[in-house]
Amino acid sequence: MEIQVVVPAYNEAKVINQVVTDLKGKVTKIIVVDDGSTDKTGEVASLAGAQVVQHFINRGQGAALQTGINFALKSGADIIVTFDADGQHQVDDIENVIKPLLLGEEDVVLGSRFLNTKSKIPISRKILLKLATYFTKIYTGLSITDTHNGFRALSRLAAEKIEIKQDGMAHASEIIEQIKKHQLRFREVPVTIKYTEYSLQKGQKFSNSFKIIWDLILGRISR
């Protein structure tokens, strides 16, 4: 079983070595998509043992994910795990995230920090995430507890059907919408998020939520 992980990364040279090192032995291949970084993210990731795919300009996390997923499919992946580059995801959770796919029970597994009491979520981040989840329910009709969690796993079937067109952070809601559109089987599983000063600085700001909503509305209008 070919299990590959896609790590979209933008200016993560400070932490990407540790992320790649921790992932070794957990998956078959580690694919880091360097999304036009201005630091040495790609170089550090490559030296750590990752297969690096580069964007020459910063296109956004959604675009980086789609590039990585396409690369993984061409590389023969049976299961594709998406994993953040800032160190907040825990590699020990990968086993539980991919288990329903290995058993053939689901097509997509979504990690949820709200199903795990170990995730100490800052109140400001919790409010932002809950608002995003509420909007996604209205937008897609699906009840998800943690829409904007980058820790997920896709079967090959799901990866071939889901096409991310939102280059920015609106891709998270877009993925949920496509799960419904393609009638893919899915479930959420608990994952632990480790918040650090670094990851909080890199995370989404409240002002970005308006851009996400606007991008989703424009995306639906343009179809």
pLDDT tens track for 7-20: 999 999 999 999 99
Q: Running DSSP on this structure, what letter comes out for residue 120?
A: -
Q: Are 87 and 198 in contact (CB under 8 A)?
A: yes
pLDDT tier at 180, thresholds 50, 70, 90:
very high
Whether pLDDT at 36 is above 90: yes
Q: What's the whole-model pTM score?
A: 0.86
pLDDT in tens, 55-105: 999 999 999 999 999 999 999 999 999 999 999 999 999 999 999 999 999
Domain ranges for the chain, please list them.
3-221
Burial class of residue 38 (count of CB atoms within 10 Å of its CB; 0-12, 13-18, 19+): exposed
Assess if CATH 3.50.50.60 describes domain 3-221: no
Helices (H), the chain: 16-23, 41-48, 61-74, 94-102, 123-140, 156-161, 171-181, 197-202, 208-221
